[in-house]
Amino acid sequence: MIRVLKAGLYTTIQDLGRYGYRDYGVPYSGVMDAYSGSMANVLLGNRAHAAVIEMTMTGPILEWHCDTSICISGADISPKLNDIPIELNKPVQVKSGDIVSFGKLISGFRSYLAVLGGFKTENIMHSYSMYQGVTKQSKLFKNDELLIDVPLKGFAVKHAAIKIKETHFITKHIEVFKGPEFQRLSKAQQGLLFAKGFTVSKKNNRMAYQMEESLENDLEPIITSAVLPGTVQLTPSGKLIILMRDCQTTGGYPRVLQLKETSINILAQKFTGDLVYFKLRA
């Protein structure tokens, strides 16, 4: 068992998402950066869908009440084990009584902590992913107790390590496809989408990222239609909204672009003030 001594800014339990329930209006949810979340699990030998802790900008303080192994991937939030810095993307053994904490944000925006066997919190609709209205909690709080499978005594400690793609965290280019309403844009509007950069506004969260810059918009609203994580909507005010993992299942704004899955992962590591450029895939 793990006790949360301090929760951090916005810390949740996530896996790869909740599939098969969108016809009931239930979002996918899941880790915002599936690349980093999966990396932490792979390095421990977990199945890809095992639940992890997702941390946003600041991390929690966790007290361990069992012996096991962990791995942290994604953003560098200066993780420490008993006040001693620990490496990212490398399995680390923890023992009962140990404290795992986080400090200054060095790079990225979201970090992932995997534990051997995955976290065993509330499972709803075949997923551990926290989401308000589906699970009892939408994030972790101080004094929460997190259950895990305690490894058998004498379990083998893995020493795997892997080189992480640096471009995943530093690139400003977001690969996209044309959205269903892309052709309704004028040639000038289409050109502007790819000629200028767009800045992540302070209105960004697990549901959507809104961009600061505006694009002239004279398009008519569409009949409410299906949207997905990565759908780029053009609002009546000309703002672009990029839907993320907790997004709704339908929307009435023109869908002008659609991010690749890898692009959603990259965008999840950006935050307020970061500049991105759309790059069209054929």
CB contact at 8 A, 245 and 30: yes
Mean pLDDT of all residues belonging to the chain: 95
User: What digits encode the pLDDT tens for the residues 191-219?
Assistant: 999 999 999 999 999 999 999 999 989 89
Question: What CATH number is attached to the domain comprising 213?
Answer: 2.40.100.10
**Residue 154 confidence (pLDDT):** 56
- Decide if pLDDT at 54 tops 70: yes
Please provide the DSSP assignment of 74-97 as one string: EEE---EETTEE--SSS-EEE-TT
- H or E segment at 44? helix 34-44
- Whether residue 207 sits in one domain with residue 136: no
Same domain as 49, residue 106: yes
Task: Please give the Cα distance from 15 to 49 (Å, whole number).
Answer: 5
Give the end of a domain, one of 149, 166, 183: 166
Q: Which stretch of 8-17, 31-40, 214-223 has the lowest confidence by average pLDDT?
A: 214-223
Distance CA 103, CA 76 (A): 9
Do 34 and 90 fall within a single domain? Answer: yes
Q: At which of 166, 193, 212 does a domain end?
A: 166
What span, in angstroms and rounded, lies between the C-alpha atoms of 171 and 84?
Answer: 30
User: Do 210 and 140 have their domain in common?
Assistant: no
Token duo for residue 199: 């800045």
Residue that is last in its domain, among 136, 166, 196: 166
Are 39 and 135 in the same domain? Answer: yes
Residues 175 and 162 in one domain: no
Please give the pLDDT value at position 200. Answer: 98
Same domain, 88 and 127: yes
Domain count, the chain: 2
Residue 161 banded pLDDT, cuts 50, 70, 90: low
Q: The pTM is what?
A: 0.95
231 shares a domain with 116: no
Same domain, 186 and 117: no
**75, 92: one domain:** yes
Answer yes or no: do 136 and 209 share one domain.
Answer: no
Query: By residue range, what is the domain housing residue 83?
Result: 2-166
* 70-82 confidence digits (pLDDT tens): 999 999 999 999 9
Helix (H, G, I), strand (E, B) or coil at 167: helix
Specify the pLDDT at position 239.
97
